[in-house]
Structure 1
Amino acid sequence: MSRLLYTLSTVFSVLVILPLLASGHAIEVAAGKKDCFFEDLHVHDKMTVSYQVGGGGHLDIDFWLSDPNGKILGKHIRQDTGSVSITAAVDGRHEYCFSNQMSAIADKIVSFNVHGVIYIDEDEAVAPIEREIRNLAIGLTSVKDEQEYIVVRERTHRNTAESTNARVKWWSVLQAIVIFVVVAWQIYYLKSFFEVKRII
């Protein structure tokens, strides 16, 4: 009976704690600025940061992730999307930054997700159901990240389509105006050939 209670309490704690290990955010990085965040990790903890630029400029951003000693563990330059996964080699505060310093005008909207797995020594007794729940939670996090990525991509494509539609509309209006102006000028020019000029 005590084993069953221990298993149920472990399952409950995993279900409560695991959603807290994954988080999604949307930020606006101002032109010429950078935004940095951090996570406190212990040795063997795993962390993944995935991001997607949803608006602004050429939809690109600089990203890097560093350990407490300042060593760069992952770096992307002018990417619209990316993901960096690490396993902590040292205890301490791991920092990740989004930089828009290459842009002087355009602010960037960045959606990003951070999720991780807390390392548990294999020597610890882990019930099979707890292991399966952890695997399920990791799988659900991956599905959630993929859905958020698809939403951002759909928003980006919709903005592109609407922008293209607006440009086509205004180009058509401009063409119509040019045609009317050319027709009016041609009528005026041809009319001048048929005018009778009197010499006094």
Structure 2
Amino acid sequence: MPANLREHIEKIIPLTDAEFAFVYAHFTTKKFKKHQYLIQEGDPVKYSFFIISGLLKLVYTDHKAKEHIVSFALEDWWESDYYAFFTQTEATMSLECLEDTEVLCCTLEDYKKLCDGLQKMERFFLEKATFGFLGSQRRIISWQTSNSKERYEQLLKQYPSLIQRVPKSLIASYLGVSRETLSRLSS
């Protein structure tokens, strides 16, 4: 059983061994290679993913075929196209491995069973969703009120390891700047 899942959950709620065994029984483990997709636009979204190891990018592609990086997901993060996951509709985004990646997968049915079967997990998922929402709001505000240099500095401060693991072209896309602008910002 991956210890990092238990440690991750126990940052919010304590679990007995029996409770963790119940939680873990609702996940399956999958491994993906670099450049493989966990979710592709237009496909049904079967899982929410907890990243054990590796790095992912969540991408929205607009009607002009331009990719917009919504997020990067590192170890100990949860990721999916959550709109499609919770509404059981087709994905509007793609989730791709930037490194070889191992994840724990949870279906919507298992998510609901976890919440119904162990009230602590309902609280855990609520807190994770709340902080994810707050992070999204902060990113929107930053996008609207900060210049590219300030956004780059915020990214460096929040996720210093990301800069070492993600190609500069993807960091530039995430920040909404050109590769050349990013080179000027990082020098």
Q: Same fold (TM over 0.5)?
A: no
Structure 1 or 2: more strand by fraction: 1
- With normalisation by structure 2, the TM-score equals 0.30
Q: Which has the higher contact order (CA 8 A, sep 6+)?
A: 1
- With normalisation by structure 1, the TM-score equals 0.28
